[in-house]
Structure 1
């Protein structure tokens, strides 16, 4: 009997040790490094300096939609494979491009050298096939990189959140808004928050439109501009009398499908300006289909930062908006 008890004890100890070992491996994976919207590209100098490198830059350093100046979606850092060692392997977003005598393929490895991390690998036997494989898979790879950067950014918000319930009380939604933002204006069906940055501001606005505000797809963009301009004229004045925010007419907004708070939405990216005054900048707006409340909920971020790079400012505003959650409706008595 004593031998049986000892055997059971030793077996339990071994199982526990195995479990501990498995969790320890995960726990001790180092944290990934690097700024958001940055990408380490690992490929030979020959490929980087030729048409394959040009194609990588075309796909992964193309301009951010809605920003007038050419700002790349990712800041690229090229490394040949021979120096891809040590700390650089902990980069959060990595793209590996290799010409090998094998079938063309593309895949993403998660948390290979650090956590969280995406290592996208593209392999093909010829340069033309590499370009074809890059073009075919770039959108998916970019989406995965962006998801991880959004998660990192949103996690950083939680260190210090704005303690204000104005948005919750008026619209029945919550967002993780950093405490560096403050409430600038609260009016009937409209809330405006902002934060100071060097030589400018970052802004969030929230308002609701009737469910039937947009008649059909053919006139959707023009109706978006019209509704947005009416809100700007009513609630967002410029620096001088008779000036107010509207939509820059020379820059047609771009519209993409989206999902916010578990509901279908339209993502609109474009340029705002101040009517009769020299001020302008990019905006990203989400029109959310909130059928349960018979409304279109609109949440928009816009930046004023003359002569500054605006990509990361807009990315932060997007990250805030994508934390939005709808609160359950309170039961009526």
Structure 2
């Protein structure tokens, strides 16, 4: 995503915000490290505002359902906190969002409003497009603090509607970055070698994954130690010739997926009827994008085995490298019965978006 400063109306010169350090120091060395789970957001807001139209818009941005899934799962885990109940520990949260309107006379919103200078409020009064301020490391190192504000609720709601996708993307990109540092600290060199040898692509897979199957145009890696606290995650990579734009049409992508899994992926290797197929009860969700200058289509959906003994969620990307004349289908799927799949899907997304299908020998290892 392009720098977020292009979307936010910067009020740095006009805003005065309270220092997070109890001794009044602003030195980063005096700040603690931010804490919080991946995908978790602390939302500081008046409870009445959260229960009203402003809250509805915020829920649409941060708690909307992950598309393509049989069960309803929110994109982020949002915990709301009354501004008057903020503690030093809560202020050290990794993702912190303050929400207020300047016309709200309630004591909860006034607690937030007190952090703004008179000059900054006057600037917002004269410019209805001013609605947000992003500050990194305000209370702790490694922290994202976002202020969302407006003169009135109607004004704030209008700006949230206009910029909701970008606000959502800010935290999606940030959380992938955090997760990437954890997941890819140790990489699986064997999987990377197989991908370069058989498919001519560069992948970055955590050391916890192992190669399950490798052929000339196909690679399957799997995290084989699932537990009650850990999902069973598989990733597979497939290569074929790119001959027509029609290959990237949704119906053809879905047909390609089912042809790959029918040939290579089985719930039980000893049972040929247990091959994986796409769940048609809820149609998959598609989104087009460009990754590393390659046209890419994202697909999110649900899967099951043909004998309906297993099922779960999947996330895939179909990438076109026109220079090489190749089309790549890469996917991660989750088996985690009766548990939330959000974290596993974010892990899959982080790994797959580190795939470079345009890799070549002259780029080096």
Normalising by the smaller structure, the TM-score range is: 0.7 to 0.9
Misfit runs of 4+, over 3 Å: 24-30, 101-104, 259-262, 328-331
> Residue 148 of structure 1 aligns with which residue?
174
Q: Secondary structure at the match of 1:226?
A: helix
SS of 2:38's partner is coil
Give the aligned partner of residue 117 of structure 2: none
TM superposition score normalised by structure 1: 0.85
Q: Which residue of 1 aligns with 2:94?
A: 92
CA distance in 2, matches of 1:113, 1:322: 31
Q: Determine if the alignment matches structure 1 residue 310 to structure 2 residue 341.
A: yes
Counterparts of 1:193-208 in structure 2, within 5 Å, are 193-195=221-223, 196-198=225-227, 201-208=232-239
Give the corresponding residue for 2:38: 36
Structure 1: runs of 5+ lacking an equivalent? 1-23
The Cα shift of 1:126 comes to: 2.2
2:313 maps to 282
Q: Find the residue that maps to 1:143 and give its secondary structure.
A: helix
Measured in 2, the distance between the counterparts of 1:286 and 1:242 equals 26
**Could you say which residue in structure 1 is the equivalent of 2:157?**
131
**In the alignment, does 2:266 pair up with 1:237?**
yes
Per the alignment, residue 319 of structure 1 pairs with: 350
Q: CA RMSD in A?
A: 2.2
User: Which deviates the most, 92-101 or 185-194?
Assistant: 92-101
Look up the match of 2:209.
181
Say whether 1:250 aligns with 2:278. Answer: no
Residue of structure 2 in register with 1:59 after alignment: 61
User: How far did residue 134 of structure 1 move?
Assistant: 1.9
Q: Between Structure 1 and Structure 2, how many residues are aligned? A: 306
| Residue 51 of structure 2: aligned partner | 49
Higher strand proportion? 1
TM-score, normalised by the number of residues in structure 2: 0.78
Larger radius of gyration: 1
Q: Distance in 2 between matches of 1:306 and 1:275?
A: 17
Aligned partners of 1:154 and 1:48: how far apart in 2? Answer: 32
